[in-house]
Amino acid sequence: MLSIENLRCAYGTAEILRGIDMDVHVGEVVALLGRNGMGKTSLVRSVAGTRPPVVSGGTIRWAGTDTTHAPSHERARLGMGLVPQGRHVFSSLTVHENLTVAARRRQNGWDLDEVYAFFPRLQERSRSRGRNLSGGEQQMLAIGRALMTNPQLLLMDEPSEGLAPAVIAQIRERIQQLKGSDIAVLLVEQNLGLALSVADRVYILGDEGRVAWHGQASELEADDDAQQRLLAV
Amino acid sequence: MTMEFVFFQLLNGLSFAGLLFLVASGFTLIFGLMRVVNLAHGGFYLVGGYIGLTIVLATGNIWLAALGGALAVGVLGVLMETSLLRRVRGQELPEVLLTIGVAFMLGDLTLAFWGGDPRAMPLPDYLSGSVDLGFIGYPRFRVLVTLLAVAVGIALWLLMSKTRVGAIVRAGVDDREMIAALGINIRLVFTGLFFFGALLAGLSGVVGAAFLGLVPGESDIEILLFALVVVILGGLGSLPGAAIGSVIVGLIDAFAKALVPELAFFTLFAPMAIVLVLRPEGLLGRRA
Ligand SMILES: Nc1ncnc2c1ncn2[C@@H]1O[C@H](COP(=O)(O)OP(=O)(O)O)[C@@H](O)[C@H]1O
Ligand SMILES: [Mg+2]
């Protein structure tokens, strides 16, 4: 279980998150929503340990370990897998290399064949370099690459950003397939439809650097007021 | 200009290119991943040369000298990376100033230790003398340096393109933060790469001690300048770029020294300036 308590983080002197409490359990998909600039990416980066921002208070516990200040490679080894906003595939590596470079084996876990079966398009493009992929292919690669580390917590930051509806539909299907395996997913999204269709629970960040709403995805679906107040642009 | 002259200068250029590649490859590897312009690389070369010389004088074994010079400088590189550079990681100006400081310190220390007289590495008989290349004879050692550089180049290329360690380094060049987020201890990779780059500098110092001789306070700066021109021409961080840059600089140097010795600096820096104007990232470099 990922358990975040009273988390604060800052870029220099600008404090962005001011006391976040959040849990994500193995087996569930939790969506993290909020308007642009509310600090969703900052939260994901704080959990993954990529700096900046710097955590200025509170704790992040994962799998029974206090990881608040652990270096990011140690968090990855504890089972966190990051699919960052903007995808960040290795541009000069081939698809194959992107997948194998940081692979970590686990009994009955993900391997190259399984990732290729999950995203057949990646196998077709296995010899292409990251920079030559389309946005959708890059997104599949970023997800596949994270899966190759056999994570138990998957942090996905806006996987649908900038993608065509058909590709988004495929990503949605894949997230649904991941759900129910022994993996916890924290999904940051701007696409409310996608989030509601895959998430069990939802947290919404408000403009004070705190959680402004949380509850079941079905509750948010019925709560027009919360949607208007916290998400409408 | 006779055929013999052209051929002889070609060989001079290519063998000097071999030495340059040995120096520049370590320099460019370090820059490629760590974005550190290590101006102490010439100092590493000099220290490697002197340590090699000392080992040869003590044991008479040139191979032991190459190994000892390379390893000692590799360790020196690790010390520098972990005790100094790591503290200013990512701050360009302090990083460069630090490497300059280390360069000067190494220059002074070698002077204090090994004295101010120019020294040359004695070579065993089977490495000296000349080989018959058909219509001209050419120093055997220089031919071997060229071959060594080609071998090192191929080995580095295989290491970088075919192994997992190479893939990790290339991934780190693309996106350091991301490779760390996938569970790779990038700090350790930095240190390992610094060891390796410094090791190459130490090895080239031993080679250079026999090739050019060692002049304290001069050899280190001269070879650093050459290495800088090579990697700026070829593209900072690019291994094939270092190879091409070495060949260009080696050939220019050989022909210029033979034909217009008074313009040696001009002919060295003019091509660099032209490339910088037309293609700032270097011939094979990547745009930032
Ligand atoms: N590297 C940075 N340096 C300074 N401020 C930043 C940096 N990254 C993000 N911010 C600021 O932090 C706030 C939250 O950004 P972010 O976490 O990216 O929001 P979201 O992902 O919800 O759009 C924004 O006001 C943004 O301008
Ligand atoms: Mg964001």
Interface size between A and B, measured as CB pairs under 8 A: 70
Asked if A82's CB is within 8 angstroms of B175's CB, the reply is: no
Q: Which residues of A touch B166 (CB under 8 A)?
A: none
Residue B163 DSSP one-character state:
S
- How does residue B287 score in pLDDT terms, banded at 50, 70 and 90? low
Parallel/antiparallel/unpaired status of strands A2-11 and A153-157: unpaired
Q: Residue B131 pairs with which residues in a beta bridge?
A: B138
* Domain annotation covers residue B285: no
Nearest to A73 among B164, B171, B185 (CB): B185
CB-based contact B165:B11 (threshold 8 Å): no
Q: Is A37 in the pocket of ligand 1 (CB under 6 A)?
A: yes
Return the structure tokens found at B157: 């290329």
Is the beta carbon of A209 within 6 A of some atom in ligand 1?
no
- Contact list, A72 vs chain B (CB under 8 Å): 177, 180-181
Under 8 Å between Cβ of B52 and B205: yes
Q: Is the pLDDT of residue B166 over 80?
A: yes
A54 C-alpha to ligand 1 centroid (Å) = 12
Sequence-ordered list of residues with C-beta below 8 angstroms from that of B182, at least 6 positions apart, any chain:
A73, A76, A81, A82, A101, A102, A145, A146, A149
Task: Say which residue, B90 or B24, is predicted with more confidence.
Answer: B24
Instruction: Count structural domains, chain B.
Output: 1
Q: Tell me, what's the ipTM?
A: 0.94
Contacts of B186 in chain A (CB under 8 A): 73
CA distance to B24, B139, B244, per residue, from B20 (Å): 6, 18, 11
pLDDT (average), residues B135-159? 94
Q: B143: buried, middle or exposed (CB in 10 Å: 19+, 13-18, 0-12)?
A: middle
Let me know the angle formed at the C-alpha of B205 by B199 and B207, rounded to the nearest 5 degrees: 110
Whether the Cβ atoms of residue B268 and residue B228 lie closer than 8 Å to each other: no
Chain B nearest-CA distance from A75, in A, is: 7
Domain boundaries, chain A: 2-79+152-231, 88-150
pLDDT at A59: 96
pLDDT tier at A190, thresholds 50, 70, 90: very high
Cα–Cα distance between B42 and B39 in angstroms, integer? 7
B288 touches chain A (CB under 8 A): no
Q: What is the CATH number of domain A2-79+152-231?
A: 3.40.50.300
Does some domain include residue B269?
yes
Residue A209 Cα, ligand 2 centroid: separation in angstroms? 14
User: Which atom of ligand 1 lies nearest, measured to the CA of A157?
Assistant: 21
Tell whether B286 is covered by a domain. Answer: no
Chain A residues in contact with B182 by the CB 8 A cut-off are 73, 76, 81-82, 101-102, 145-146, 149
Ligand 1, atom 27, residue with closest C-alpha: A37
pLDDT at A25: 95
Q: Do B171 and A149 touch (CB under 8 A)?
A: no
Query: Looking at the predicted structure, is the pLDDT value of residue B189 above 60?
Result: yes
Average pLDDT over residues B251-262: 93
Tell me if A82 and B167 make a contact (CB, 8 A cut-off): no
Has residue B211 got a pLDDT over 80?
Answer: yes
Q: Would the CB atoms of B182 and A102 count as touching at under 8 Å?
A: yes
Q: Are B29 and B88 in contact (CB under 8 A)?
A: no
* B258 falls within a domain: yes
Residue found under tokens 């916890």: A184
DSSP chain A: -EEEEEEEEEETTEEEEEEEEEEE-TT-EEEEE-STTSSHHHHHHHHHT-SSSEEEEEEEEETTEE-TT--HHHHHHTTEEEE-TT----TTSBHHHHHHTT----TT---HHHHHHH-HHHHHTTTSBGGGS-HHHHHHHHHHHHHHT--SEEEEE-TTTT--HHHHHHHHHHHHHHTTSS-EEEEE-S-HHHHHHH-SEEEEE-TTSSEEEEEEHHHHHH-HHHHHHHT--
- pLDDT the model gives residue A70: 96
Task: Supply the pLDDT for residue B286.
Answer: 76
What CATH number does residue B94 fall under?
1.10.3470
Chain A residues whose beta carbon lies within 8 Å of the beta carbon of residue B181: 48-50, 72-73, 76, 82, 84
Residues 181-240 of B with CB under 8 A from A: 181-186
Count of Cβ atoms closer than 10 Å to residue A63 Cβ: 16
List the structure tokens of B271: 């091509």
- What is the pLDDT averaged over residues B171-199? 94
Closest Cα in chain A, distance from residue B187 (Å): 10
Main-chain phi, psi angles of A18, to 5 degrees: -130, 55
Single out the residue of B100, B102, B121 nearest to residue B215, CA to CA.
B121
Interchain proximity B178–A130, CB inside 8 Å: no
- Does residue A120 come out as left (phi exceeding 0), alpha (psi in the -120 to 50 range) or beta? alpha
Task: Using the predicted structure, report yes or no on whether residue B43 has a pLDDT greater than 60.
Answer: yes
- Comparing CA positions, the residue from B36, B35, B30 lying closest to residue B99 is B36
What distance lies between CA A145 and its chain's CA centroid? 13
Q: Is A39 in the pocket of ligand 1 (CB under 6 A)?
A: yes
pLDDT of residue B234: 93
Give the SS3 label for residue B44: helix
Residue A97 and residue B183: Cβ atoms within 8 Å? no
B22, B149 Cβ separation under 8 angstroms: yes
Q: What residues does A55 pair with on adjacent strands?
A: A9
CA dist list (Å): B250 to A223, B33, B147: 73, 26, 15
Which atom, in ligand 1's list, is nearest to the CA of A205? 22
When computed from its CA atoms, the radius of gyration of chain A, rounded to whole angstroms, is 17
Residue at B256 is within a domain: yes
Task: Please give all residues whose CB falls under 5 A of ion ligand 2, grouped by chain where several chains appear.
Answer: A 40-41, 85
Mutate to test the interface with A, among B173, B182, B187, B238 (most CBs of A within 10 A): B182
Q: Among B31-35, B162-166, B189-193, B196-200, whose mean pLDDT is lowest?
A: B31-35
Mean pLDDT (chain B) is 93
Instruction: Give CA separation, B286 vs B172, B238, B282, in Å.
Output: 15, 8, 8
| A32 DSSP β-pair partners | A188, A203
Query: Any chain A CB within 8 A of the CB of B180?
Result: yes
**For the residues B233-247, what does the mean pLDDT come to?**
94
| pLDDT cut 90: percent of chain B above it | 80
pLDDT at site B288: 57
Which amino acid is residue B96, in one-letter code? Answer: V
pLDDT tier, B118 (very low <50, low <70, confident <90, very high otherwise)? very high
Both tokens of residue A146?
Answer: 């994270």
Q: What distances in angstroms separate CA B257 from CA A1, B5, B13, B261, B262, one per listed residue?
A: 70, 13, 10, 4, 8
- Between the alpha carbon of residue B246 and those of residues A183, B180, B193, B215, B221, the distances in Å are 52, 33, 21, 22, 17
This prediction's pTM: 0.90
Does residue B288 sit within a domain? Answer: no
Percent share of chain B, pLDDT over 70: 99
Q: Do B174 and A92 touch (CB under 8 A)?
A: yes
* Residue A209 contacts residue A178 (beta carbons within 8 Å): no
Domain housing B183: 3-278
Phi (first) and psi of residue B206, to 5 degrees: -65, -45
Q: Is A34 in the pocket of ligand 1 (CB under 6 A)?
A: yes
| Interchain pair B183, A84: CB under 8 A | no
Q: Which of A166-175, B12-21, B269-278 has the lowest mean pLDDT?
A: B269-278
Contacts of residue A71 in chain B, CB cutoff 8 Å? 180, 185
For chain A, say whether B260 makes contact (Cβ under 8 Å).
no
Stretch A13-27: mean pLDDT, rounded?
Answer: 95
